Amino acid sequence: MHLRHDAAYPSRRSPVLAENVVATSQPLATQAGLAILQLGGNAVDAAIATAAALTIVEPTGCGLGSDAFCILWDGEKLHGLNASGRSPAAWTPDRFAGEMPQHGWDAVTVPGMVSAWVELSEKFGKLDLETVLAPAIRYAEDGFIVSPVVGALWEKGAATLKDQPGFAATFMPDGRAPKAGERFRNPDAAKTLRAIAATKGRAFYEGEIAETIAAYAAANGGAMTVADLAAHHNDWCGTISQTFDDVELHEIPPNGQGIAALMALGMLEHTAIRDCGPDDLLAVHLQIEAIKLAYRDLDAYVADRDHMGEVDETALLDPAYLKSRAALIESDRAQDFGAGAPKLGGTVLMNVGDASGMMVSFIQSNYAGFGSGVVVPGTGISMQNRGFGFTTEQGHPNQVGPNKRPFHTIIPGFAMKNGKPLMAFGMMGGPIQAQGHVQLLLRTQLWGQDPQTAADAPRWRAIEGLDIACEPTMSAALLEGLESLGHAVRIEAPDNAFGFGGAQLVQRFDHGGYAAGSDPRKDGQAGGY
């Protein structure tokens, strides 16, 4: 692999080149992962360590009540893990009127993230959980210095969620959100992390912690029970993939949005994108149109895999179908394909590669910022709001119902080439994620940009109809060109922390070692040794 690094885009960063690398959205979490690698842990141990640390140092994107997904290369084989939780058994459709609630207990599905840590550790890890969770426990107990982007998001989230059950007591010491540069402690989370390590997660799903969660739900009108928590199980679901030239993009199967990236890539196979440069008007236009087509189907069909019926991933990825969809794209005008309008989200992503060749793409999320706003007293557990991913539309495959996984925005990404692992990568941030996977894959593989350059490059995001959001760093000529084709361009300021996502990329060299990049839109860091 030849790295192309240029200064075409504003950035403070160069790619990190090393035999062992960790890329995350918060430097303290990156350092936690590197510390575990230096103790003799492997990439899975490091991924769990960074994931746990992020629940403490970036609570604006994830917490101990999050969901998770993972794609990993174990040295010989690619694995996909779906650790998203299901709805409580009492969530019948008649419980909900109008739109799904975004906050409070009726937005909370069973959190699956802790089970992902445990299962990955037991199946692939080298170190015990006590060792791997130690950095997170230290940050929770002794405190950490709040970083700038996290501090800004914390203040924003607190203004919305301050009245949700348990939120202010944990996340608003002295009655306000901590500011960047201030120390924050979460000793209750340290206690929970210790119990998770000591019981290999059992306390969270069927022991004392589960009972505390269920009791707090009952006291505040929620439906979640100990039985709901105990019934949780993960799925080793493998991956689904799409080839573009000699590179395969792998994603987790539905209930996630990763299939939209595969569909768009499959459509782009049949366009003139190979004749373009990365920032050419035609290249950006073709990507936007393919994404819009993919998202229309995503909105209509994707749900819990067990509820999708005949329109499953096989039907949506059928080569003839994708070719027919590509034929709808016109090179000289934007079209309204009826794309949906997903909400913005809050997520953290980490990618790790170790010297043995093991590579991990791991993502965990509350969904929107702090999630539901519910924090279980005495535990430090902030609960996600993944239930907001359901719809109340009668007969829709993603209609809310009991013991069912909602549609998920969070997706880890992984690229293979000639049967060998090439890149663990992804992008946090709600609906930008599948769109971002396409942008990152093409920039690194078709146009040869290194991971940091690809992360630095200006991004676009299809919204609804002809509306697209673009970063102000995009060239004036490109913005004018998009408008001339009929795109309704919105310029969004870079302080929209999730609108254009936060990318983390780890790409492997043929001879061993990695190039890693971390998004300058976040506080993050790629580190290695």
Residue 73 pairs in a beta bridge with 78, 359
pLDDT at 199: 97
Each residue's pLDDT tens digit in the chain (529 positions)?
A: 555 555 567 766 889 999 999 999 999 999 999 999 999 999 999 999 999 999 999 999 999 999 999 999 999 999 999 999 999 999 999 999 889 999 999 999 999 999 999 999 999 999 999 999 999 999 999 999 999 999 999 999 999 999 999 999 999 999 999 999 999 999 999 999 999 999 999 999 999 999 999 999 999 999 999 999 999 999 999 999 999 999 999 999 999 999 999 999 999 999 999 999 999 999 999 999 999 999 999 998 999 999 988 888 998 999 999 999 999 999 999 999 853 333 445 666 789 999 999 999 999 998 888 999 999 999 999 999 999 999 999 999 999 999 999 999 889 999 999 999 999 999 988 789 999 999 999 999 999 999 999 999 999 999 999 999 999 999 999 999 999 999 999 999 766 556 899 999 999 999 899 999 999 999 999 999 9
Which domains can be identified in the chain, with CATH numbers?
1-256+344-459+497-529 (3.60.20.40)
Place of tokens 């779906």: 82
pLDDT at 344: 44
Q: What is 135-204 written as a DSSP string?
A: HHHHHHHH-EEPPHHHHHHHHHHHHHHTTSTTHHHHH-GGGSPPPTTSEE--HHHHHHHHHHHHHTTHHH
Cα–Cα distances in angstroms (integers) from residue 459 to residues 6, 346, 487, in the given order? 17, 18, 15
Contact 300, 394 (CB under 8 A): no
pLDDT at 343: 41
What residues are annotated to the active site? 347
Q: Would you tell me how many other CB atoms lie within 10 Å of the CB of residue 418?
A: 9
Cα–Cα distances in angstroms (integers) from residue 374 to residues 210, 212, 224, 446, in the given order? 15, 13, 13, 44
Parallel/antiparallel/unpaired status of strands 467-470 and 488-491: parallel
| pTM tops 0.75 | yes
User: Which residue, 194, 86, 195, is CA-closest to 134?
Assistant: 194
The crossing angle, in degrees rounded to 10, of helices 113-124 and 43-57 is: 160
Gap between the Cα atoms of 306 and 304, Å rounded: 5
Kindly state the tokens that stand for 513. 């070692």
pLDDT at 339: 39
User: Which residue, 298, 347, 283, is CA-closest to 55?
Assistant: 347
Residue 114 pairs in a beta bridge with none
Cα–Cα distances in angstroms (integers) from residue 233 to residues 74, 81, 205, 258, in the given order? 22, 11, 10, 21
Identity of residue 328: L
Cα–Cα distances in angstroms (integers) from residue 297 to residues 84, 199, 325, 330, 337, in the given order? 22, 42, 11, 19, 10
Contact 448, 297 (CB under 8 A): no
Identity of residue 361: S
φ, ψ dihedrals at 145, nearest 5°: -90, 120
Q: Helices then strands (H, E): number in the chain?
A: 18, 21
Report the greatest alpha carbon distance in the chain. 61
Cα four-point dihedral sign 136, 373, 519, 148: negative
Kindly state the tokens that stand for 175. 């009655």
